[in-house]
Amino acid sequence: MQTKLHALTRTPAPSIANCELTHLQREPIDYAKAVAQHQLYCQALTNLGIKVTTLFHNDFADGVFVEDPAIVLDEVALITRPGAASRMDEVPTLATELARFREVKQMTPPATLEGGDVLCIGKKIFIGHSSRTNQSGIEQLKQIAKPLGYEINVGDVQHCLHLKTGCSYIGDDTILINPQWIDRDLFHNFQILEIDPSEPFAANAIFANDQILYSTSFPRTLERMEGLGFEANTVDNSELLKAESGLSCMSLIFKS
């Protein structure tokens, strides 16, 4: 029997208009549309067979990107220190929630690390060294994960916010990647599928319960994936993309 997956999500806050932006120009965000798209996203996760728990927004501007302040392994949850100081207030609420499911450990200063920089594929963990994740953050995650049998691989993140802005696992030993942002060599034991170059943000996807969840905003890359036999469920996150997000940032998915 397949282990049940659980996802934590958080409703977008009215203050999402003031979210952090690093590589994008600010555009107006239609709040009602963002909330409606988030509801469809939660429904899409449910359709993948995932039990979804949605937290209150607490008016955290970037709180909808609930993946960033925690790394949830099967054995333990690590509460991180986000690299954006404005996001520190999100941390305690997630720690409380995750304590219902796992032993919780806390990252300590001077470490910073965001979940968007961590890609877990079975017992392999890939960590992006980025503007949000520093060397101390990488070392603290290593110290927790290596004794649990995880293999740690570290790569640089350039020209984009997080590791998973530029690459994702889509099943069948395959990484979807933007090679302009993430070095393909980080994944030397995997098959590589490059995004369509006209869609630089297209490398973010969710793979859960052996299914892919993908954005409707990147039809050319979707066509490439389908051409190679990958079937994807799709959801419209176009309004939320304006807040420099990907699909994976909006949930923390873990075994119940």
User: Are the CB atoms for 242 and 29 separated by under 8 Å?
Assistant: yes
User: How far, CA to CA in Å, does 8 sit from each of 114, 172, 225?
Assistant: 16, 26, 27
- Alpha carbon 199 to chain centroid, angstroms: 18
Q: How far is CA 216 from the centre of its chain?
A: 17
The Cα–Cα gap between 175 and 189 comes to 10
- Residue 223: count of CB within 10 angstroms of its CB: 10
In angstroms, rounded to a whole number, what is the distance separating the alpha carbons of residues 80 and 98? 12
Main-chain dihedrals φ then ψ at residue 222, nearest 5 degrees = -60, -40
β-bridge pairing 167-169 and 151-156: unpaired
Residues that bind ligand GLY (CB under 6 A): 19-20, 22, 62, 65, 84, 243-245
Shortest distance (Å) from residue 204 CB to ligand GLY: 12
Three-state SS at 235: strand
Annotated catalytic residue, options 38, 160, 162, 167: 162
Instruction: Compute the radius of gyration of the chain from its Cα atoms.
Output: 17
Give Cβ neighbours of residue 81 (< 8 Å, ≥ 6 apart): 88, 91, 107, 108, 109, 111, 112, 113, 137
Q: Which residue is nearest to ligand GLY (CB)?
A: 20
Rounded least distance, CB 244 to ligand GLY, Å: 4
| Annotation says 249 is catalytic | yes
Name the helix (H) or strand (E) containing 161: none
Does 160 participate in catalysis according to the annotation?
no
Distance of closest approach, residue 19 Cβ to ligand GLY, in angstroms: 4
Q: Provide the β-strand partners of residue 179.
A: none
Query: CB-wise, 85 or 148, nearer to ligand GLY?
Result: 85
Active site residues: 162, 249
